[in-house]
Protein backbone atom coordinates (compact mmCIF):
# COMPACT_ATOMS: atom_id res chain seq x y z
CA UNK A 1 0.00 0.00 0.00
CA UNK A 2 1.42 3.34 -1.07
CA UNK A 3 -0.47 6.07 0.79
CA UNK A 4 0.97 8.77 -1.48
CA UNK A 5 -0.32 6.99 -4.60
CA UNK A 6 -3.71 6.44 -2.97
CA UNK A 7 -4.03 10.12 -2.11
CA UNK A 8 -3.00 11.11 -5.65
CA UNK A 9 -5.70 8.82 -7.09
CA UNK A 10 -8.31 10.34 -4.78
CA UNK A 11 -7.26 13.91 -5.63
CA UNK A 12 -7.15 13.24 -9.38
CA UNK A 13 -10.64 11.74 -9.42
CA UNK A 14 -12.03 14.54 -7.27
CA UNK A 15 -10.56 17.25 -9.49
CA UNK A 16 -11.72 15.55 -12.69
CA UNK A 17 -15.26 15.11 -11.43
CA UNK A 18 -15.49 18.74 -10.28
CA UNK A 19 -14.13 20.11 -13.57
CA UNK A 20 -16.63 18.38 -15.83
CA UNK A 21 -20.27 17.79 -16.49
CA UNK A 22 -19.90 14.23 -15.23
CA UNK A 23 -23.14 12.26 -14.94
CA UNK A 24 -22.74 8.93 -13.11
CA UNK A 25 -23.39 5.96 -15.37
CA UNK A 26 -23.09 7.98 -18.57
CA UNK A 27 -19.32 8.53 -18.72
CA UNK A 28 -17.34 5.32 -18.38
CA UNK A 29 -14.05 7.23 -18.06
CA UNK A 30 -15.24 9.26 -15.10
CA UNK A 31 -17.05 6.29 -13.59
CA UNK A 32 -13.75 4.40 -13.69
CA UNK A 33 -11.90 7.30 -12.03
CA UNK A 34 -14.49 7.44 -9.25
CA UNK A 35 -14.33 3.68 -8.76
CA UNK A 36 -10.52 3.91 -8.53
CA UNK A 37 -10.87 6.71 -5.96
CA UNK A 38 -13.29 4.65 -3.88
CA UNK A 39 -10.86 1.71 -3.93
CA UNK A 40 -8.00 4.04 -2.96
CA UNK A 41 -10.02 5.55 -0.10
CA UNK A 42 -10.87 2.10 1.21
CA UNK A 43 -7.24 0.97 0.97
CA UNK A 44 -5.99 4.16 2.63
CA UNK A 45 -8.52 3.80 5.44
CA UNK A 46 -7.47 0.19 6.03
CA UNK A 47 -3.79 1.19 5.91
CA UNK A 48 -4.22 4.00 8.45
CA UNK A 49 -6.51 1.94 10.70
CA UNK A 50 -3.81 -0.72 10.92
CA UNK A 51 -1.20 1.87 11.97
CA UNK A 52 0.29 2.77 8.60
CA UNK A 53 1.95 6.14 8.07
CA UNK A 54 0.19 9.17 6.58
CA UNK A 55 0.67 10.28 2.98
CA UNK A 56 3.59 12.71 2.82
CA UNK A 57 1.20 15.57 1.87
CA UNK A 58 -0.56 15.05 5.22
CA UNK A 59 2.63 14.92 7.26
CA UNK A 60 3.63 18.21 8.90
CA UNK A 61 6.86 19.66 7.58
CA UNK A 62 9.73 19.63 10.05
CA UNK A 63 11.01 22.95 8.69
CA UNK A 64 8.01 24.93 10.03
Contacts of 7 (CB under 8 A, 6+ apart): 40, 44, 55, 57, 58
For the stretch 1-53, pLDDT in tens is 999 999 999 999 888 888 777 666 777 777 788 899 999 999 999 999 999 99
State residue 63's pLDDT score: 58
Task: Tell me if residue 26 falls in helix, strand or coil.
Answer: coil
- Model pTM greater than 0.95? no
CA angle 11/51/33 to nearest 5° reads 20
For residue 8, give every residue at least 6 positions away whose Cβ sits within 8 Å of its Cβ, in sequence order, or none. Answer: none
Query: Is pLDDT at 64 greater than 60 in this prediction?
Result: no
Alpha helices in the chain (DSSP H): 3-18, 28-49
Amino acid sequence: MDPDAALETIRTATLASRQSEWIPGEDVGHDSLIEDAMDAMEALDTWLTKGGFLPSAWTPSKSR
